[in-house]
Amino acid sequence: MSRTKWLLAILSLIVAAILLLLPRGDAPPATSEIVAQSIALHGYSPSGEIEWEIRATAGALEDEEGRLRDAEIRFFDEDGIPLSIKGAKLLRTREESLMNGPIRIEQENGFVLETVDLLWSESLETLRAGAVRLYDEGVQLEAEAFSYDLSSHAAEFEGPLVATFEGGELEAMMGNWDKEGLTFSGDVALHVDLSSWEALDGS
């Protein structure tokens, strides 16, 4: 064999070895991610009672984490009355889940609340958000921050906050909501349109 043929043979072996050592570009990376449509997830208490459910039109799941689209979370209390949260996107992790909005929170036979970003801590059983707007029995409340305790079914609002109702307005620094209704504290100021109140009571 001539010297040139020997050189070509050795060069071919070197190139083949390099190609074998390089990662294959056409092989998909190993992953356990599942992409699906019409997703439904459920969470149960130690006694086997359902505590929450998540439904989404589509998303990707891997282990206990997921990215869901057009999601709704429903929390259930001991009376079976659900708290519903709907948002455009839900990023679910083992510790906390973040929902991006616009978001609508609604309790059956209760309040309606609107916000943009919501954080759900499953271990602490809390919901937290920034600026919110709440509607409850003719009252509109705007606050700078919101938190909800899923175990006690009570909400706290941080101000400055403004509550408007027919014939008046109330300003405060703190607000609380439970099944009994709204209460306010901290530099509370009430502004009333007396002419509206006179018209309401007929005097």
CATH number of 76's domain? 2.60.450.10
Which one-letter amino acid corresponds to residue 186? Answer: G
- The mean-pLDDT minimum among 14-28, 87-101, 161-175, 181-195 falls in 14-28
CA angle, 72 then 75 then 79, to 5°: 140
SS3 57: strand
In a domain, 59, yes or no: yes
Domain housing 52: 30-201
Rg (CA), the chain: 28
In a domain, 23, yes or no: no
pTM across the whole model: 0.74
Place of tokens 């101000």: 159
In a domain, 108, yes or no: yes
- Identify the pLDDT of residue 62: 81
Tens-place pLDDT, residues 127-138: 999 999 999 888
Q: How many domains does the chain have?
A: 1
In a domain, 188, yes or no: yes
In a domain, 2, yes or no: no
In a domain, 25, yes or no: no
pLDDT range class, residue 161, cuts 50, 70, 90: very high
Tens-place pLDDT, residues 145-154: 999 999 888 8
Which has more pLDDT, 159 or 30? 159
Residue 163 has pLDDT above 70, yes or no: yes
